[in-house]
């Protein structure tokens, strides 16, 4: 925290730095433990070494309602290989020992509750993590997380969707720290050839209720899409395309794709 008691956000700082030096931030998602814990750590490090500004590590979950087939397959493979929640903290700690980019965990809320919200926050903070993205937790049902994230100084990223009401958008903006996860289109994750105008309109609505850090995800898979998104948003989030590259071509493949995607931040 600052001397005035305001919690500083490492994610917001990284995004702001990317806006000063380039068009905006590139945020990369990979699941922990795929194809193995060590390889997932190496792959995350490779993302940062090839232009990713903020890491988003997914915690494998048995009922991933928001995830598309590429991510579902990878997270199921991680679970089948014996993933345990403590592996996520191990991954964060080892990644942070090698690169300086902030690391967010993306998780459905049930694993956090089962682990214990306060204990989860403490362990994530101790590992060097920046905070959480919580796709199935709304602000009005997240009192425990609001309390614990304030206590530990962790970032919290809530989602905004094209179907969200103005009041929901305002709550997401007022309570997110780091950025607001701007869902480009309704449906599950997965690369899409066209994103349409929904994301740009949604960012405009978020700006109208006070957002200063909106990052667009779901369907982003090319440098051209990233360049387009950074014309109106603060960051672009890529997931399925990176997971597919890791599955097909290993750490070297995901590194090459990250470097290619990063070219979109400089246009």
Check 67, 87, 123, 200 and give the catalytic one.
Answer: 67
Q: Which of 49, 50, 58, 26 is nearest to 99 (CA)?
A: 49
Structure tokens at 102: 């902030």
Cα within 13 Å of Cα(24), Cβ side: 22
Distance CA 8, CA 202 (A): 26
Assigned token pair, 254: 């995901």
Q: Do 111 and 140 contact (CB within 8 A), yes or no?
A: no
If you ran DSSP here, which 8-state letter would residue 179 be given? -
Give which of 226, 256, 230, 235 is closest to 244, Cα–Cα.
256
Q: What's the CA gap between 258 and 240, in Å, rounded? A: 12
Active site residue 93: no
Is there a catalytic annotation at residue 56?
A: yes
Of residues 42, 56, 148, 200, which has the active-site annotation? 56
Residues assigned a catalytic role = 56, 67
């Amino acid at each position: 925290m600052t001397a005035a008691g305001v919690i500083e956000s490492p994610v917001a700082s990284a995004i702001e730095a990317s806006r000063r030096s380039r068009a905006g931030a590139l945020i990369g998602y990979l699941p922990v433990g795929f194809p193995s814990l060590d390889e997932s750590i190496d792959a995350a490090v490779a993302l940062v070494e090839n232009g990713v500004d903020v890491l988003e590590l997914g915690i494998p979950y048995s009922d991933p309602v928001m995830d598309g087939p590429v991510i579902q397959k990878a997270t199921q493979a991680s679970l089948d290989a014996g993933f345990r929640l403590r592996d996520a903290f191990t991954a964060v700690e080892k990644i942070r020992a090698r690169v300086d980019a902030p690391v967010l965990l993306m998780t459905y809320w049930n694993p956090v509750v089962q682990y214990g919200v306060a204990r989860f926050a403490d362990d994530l903070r101790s590992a060097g993590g920046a905070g959480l993205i919580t796709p199935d937790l709304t602000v009005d049902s997240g009192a425990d997380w609001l309390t614990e994230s304030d206590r530990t100084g962790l970032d919290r990223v809530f989602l905004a969707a094209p179907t969200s009401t103005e009041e929901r958008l305002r709550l997401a903006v007022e309570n997110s720290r780091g950025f607001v996860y701007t869902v480009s289109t309704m449906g599950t994750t997965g690369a899409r050839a066209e994103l349409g105008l929904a994301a740009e309109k949604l960012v405009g609505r978020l700006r109208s209720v006070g957002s200063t850090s909106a990052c667009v995800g779901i369907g982003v898979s090319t440098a051209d899409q990233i360049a387009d998104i950074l014309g109106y948003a603060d960051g672009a989030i890529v997931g399925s395309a990176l997971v597919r590259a890791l599955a097909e071509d290993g750490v070297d493949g995901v590194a090459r794709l990250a470097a290619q995607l990063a070219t979109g931040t400089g246009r």
